[in-house]
Chain A
Amino acid sequence: MENLLSVQNLTKRFGAVTANDNVDLDVRKGEIHCLFGENGAGKSTLSACLYGYYRADSGVIRFKGEIAELNSPADALRLGIGMVHQHFVLVTNFTVLENIIVGSPEVGMFLSKSAARRKVEDLCRRCGIQIDLDREIWELSVGEQQWVEILKALYFGAELLILDEPTAVLTPQQSDQLFAILDGMRRQGLSIILISHKLREVMQSDRVTILRKGRVVATVETSGTTAEAITALMVGHKVTKHVSDRSIEPGRDVLVVDRACALGEWGEDVLRDVTFSIASNEILGLAGVAGNGQKELFEVLMGVRTLSSGGFLLDGDAVAVPTSREMLDRGVGLVPDDRFREGLIPEFGTAENLVLGWQRKPEYRRGPFLDRRKLNALAERKIEEFRIVAASADLPVERLSGGNAQRVILAREFLHAGSLLLANQPTRGLDVAASEFVYEKILEKRAEGFAILLASEELDDLLRLCDRIAVIFKGRIVGIVRPEETTLLELGMMMAGDASNLDGHLNDLSSKALRQ
């Protein structure tokens, strides 16, 4: 097969950091090529170089056999290299069709919508995308918005599509749909560069290029290898999967949530009679398809969303009107799912972000002033402990790689939380090794006596880590199960709102048991 793209000796430095070090990469026509590597390995930087967003310091990029001069994304687009941004740049009150054709070179003087529509419909059919072209963007789910981004790139004539962690914000179902689309594109002879930390997805590609610390370690055919082998190549050693130590028994109740109800932005019910408790030395998992009230539940427990009725007890005390200040002071830690929106000050460095929420704590002050020296010392310790790759403690966190930014939050929460840790998708965007590192830390906290609420889309992880798993559907807890008595399938059914079936199923079982 011919190479659509070939990169030789590409090097890209940021000051003292070498993000890409003599990288070689070939992408064939009609293949899904995965970039895999630890956080900060240089995957995003490499794709930004291919997309013309950064200029490589040295190296040659050939596209269709010819040397490509990529000085801007416009150059890349002209050649046929498209990119789907993780943060979409769609106009929300335009329709799907308008978003796709806006800015296209053909629009020019006469915008022939009907011709454009035919072309887009044709694209949809060939790639198996089903979408209503007349709906406005704000009506679409995140997954569908991503399709629009893809269609836009294809409409512009992209033959190589770069997707940087496209599934980080998708539910497993949406991610399956995305892969079906990518598969359709592959069969059309289009090539795809895909960045993902999820092994399940990596294994669906044709080839994988593994990066470590900016260098290419290997490029392998996916069919001839295993997930374990790829992981080992990536981190340079085997990753041990942690499991909960069942000999530690949960103790007294730390958090008791009693019939909590909350309303959303438009007065709709987002939480309905949510009732559960978490004890010390216990991890309660929260499983559910994204958008079923998980985020709102975390916000309520953090004191940033008001309850319409019901309440909760923390360490036996009713929390009357919770504020985020009170929750922090009571030792609650929160790892939010949207880290740059809810967890970090993008323009601040690691040092300042590590004390966000605790900036007034006497420990970090000298008289009325923030104790810079102490903050920097703290940052140095945490950068080492959590292996955060940052050029300095003052480098704005918006310039850190996604996974490293997440580590800053984790370092802060593990440092300050006292009894209850609320973790919403704490491993989102983390590489395999880093995820295990987080789980190891969470299990350590469990052993120390913390109560932990852990929401994750990785059901396997929930099953091996949690003491119990609560399943949320449409704002309601539809069941709380024990991992040793539950299968993936049952969890999946409950997440899809099939609790009644399951109940019926269980009733059947118990009545059978009674009859015997």
Chain B
Amino acid sequence: MGWNVACYSAAMLCALFSTAALLHLSGGDVAKAFSSLVIGAFGSQKALLGSLAKATPLLLVGLGTVIAFRAKIWNIGQEGQVLAGAMCAYWASLWIGPLPYWMAFAVLVLAGLAGGGALGLLAGILKTRFGTSEIISTVMLNYIVIFLLAYLLDGGPWMESGVTVAYHQSPPVNTMLEWPTLFGQGSAKLHVGFLLALGATALSAVLLERTPLGYEIRAFGSNPTALRFRGTDISRLLLVVMLVSGALAGLAGAGELFGTSHRLRAETLLGIGSSGIVVAMVGGLRPSGAMLAALFFGALKSGAIYMRLQSGTPAGLVSAMEGLVLLFFLCAAVATRIQVTVRSEVHA
């Protein structure tokens, strides 16, 4: 235990130092940048809410990734699945009739789940039917969805058109359908999706560790052949995993749309998927770990906005830092495993 903490702390420090070095090399003021980063992430109630809001979609995507990766099913189509969830929910919002609010809310949640889930399932079917590698199909589907959205928003039926200019975004969603706010207002508020993400964390943990399905998911990751010999339909299992994994990413997209941005816009959604994968990896492919990682990266993203305003640091630095953290955490994960053998030898 102590060794694990040491490894991950060291990874954190290394990531910090290398980011500092990058900052320094690019001529920035390291102290100012870091302090504004921290203030932007934790400095006020508003900052905190912003961090949690940023963490919400990362956590949902991260959980979906954890579930797939534990089965060693390499779903890396989270970008597309986030978009698909948002698009599906937006589409649902267009024809939703006058429903009681909670029912409308439920429809939007389900639509988000369905959109992402369908895209995941599609990659799953390609794999079980035609043996297409999910790594390739999920990435390809990302492109298809991104271009589909581009079409819809750029001259397509969902484009918001002003009198003289056209924006690459949809008109705002019906204000009656916005997701309820938990705390805060204006630009710094936390929507109910945060609670959904926390609930999903608990559910994923229970699913993986306590249920027969979770048993099968973990077994699939370790030895699918034995699982097949022992009465599990592994094609079906693969489809279920892809469905659940995609659905969680889709929910993240729907939450961003109806909880935060209120307009369908590619820029607000792109990047969530890839960050979510990082969250899952840094979280050690455990739901609880993904939660901590999501909070960390949420704070980083939120603080980065303030940092940019205060110290003019380039935004790309945050992505670089994300990558560095991932790199060092993966190293730390290897180091914790080495400990097992070292310990067994020292233990005399």
Residues of A at the B interface (CB closer than 8 Å) are: 11, 13-15, 54-55, 57-58, 302, 304, 323-325, 327-329, 334, 336, 340-348, 352, 356-357, 359-360, 365, 368-370, 372
Contact = CB atoms under 8 A, between A and B. Distances in A.
Contact of B215 (A14, A58, A340, A370): A370
Contact of B211 (A342, A345, A368): A368
Interface stretch (B55-63, B219-227, B286-294): B219-227
A325 B231 contact: yes
Interface string B181-213: 000000000000000000000000010001110
Interface string B20-31: 000000000000
B223 A341 contact: yes
A345 B231 contact: no
Interface in B226-257: 226-233
B214 to A, nearest CB: 8
Contacts of A343: 226, 229
A346 B222 contact: yes
Interface residues of B, number: 24
A50 to B, nearest CB: 15
Given A324-B228, A341-B225, A370 B233 contact: no
Interface stretch (B270-278, B326-334, B340-348): B340-348
A269 B211 CA distance: 41
Nearest to A16: B347
Contact of A359 (B216, B222, B229, B348): B216
A360 B212 contact: yes
A365 B210 CA distance: 10
A352 B215 contact: yes
Contacts of B216: 359
Nearest to B224: A345
Given A324-B229, A343-B226, A345-B227, 13 more contacts: A11-B348, A15-B344, A54-B345, A57-B347, A324-B228, A324-B231, A325-B232, A329-B231, A342-B229, A344-B223, A369-B206, A370-B210, A370-B212
Top 3 A-B pairs ranked by shortest CB distance? A357-B230, A57-B348, A325-B231
Contacts of B263: none
A334 B216 CA distance: 19
B347 A342 contact: no
A510 to B, nearest CB: 44
A165 B240 CA distance: 41
A356 B212 contact: no
Main secondary structure on chain B at its contact with chain A? helix
Contacts of B54: none
B265 interface: no
A75 to B, nearest CB: 15
A336 B226 CA distance: 10
Nearest to B343: A15
Contacts of A55: 345
A390 to B, nearest CB: 15
A370 B230 CA distance: 17
A370 B222 contact: no
Nearest to A347: B222
A348 B348 contact: no
Contacts of B232: 324-325, 357
Given A54-B345, A324-B228, A369 B211 contact: yes
Contacts of A340: 223
6 contacts: A324-B229, A328-B230, A347-B221, A357-B230, A369-B211, A370-B210
A345 B229 contact: no
B231 A13 contact: no
Given A341-B225, A342-B225, A13 B233 contact: no
Contacts of B225: 341-342
A334 B229 contact: yes
B218 interface: yes
A23 B324 CA distance: 48
B161 to A, nearest CB: 50
Contacts of B212: 359-360, 365, 370
Nearest to A342: B229
Nearest to B216: A359
Nearest to A302: B229
Contacts of B344: 14-15
Interface in B101-118: none
A11 B345 CA distance: 11
Contacts of B222: 345-348
B226 A359 contact: no
A319 to B, nearest CB: 14
Nearest to A357: B230
A345 B223 contact: yes
Contacts of A323: 231, 233
A345 B347 CA distance: 27
Contacts of A54: 345
Most chain A CB within a 10 A radius of its CB, from B225, B229, B347: B229
Nearest to B222: A347
A225 B61 CA distance: 67
A273 to B, nearest CB: 25
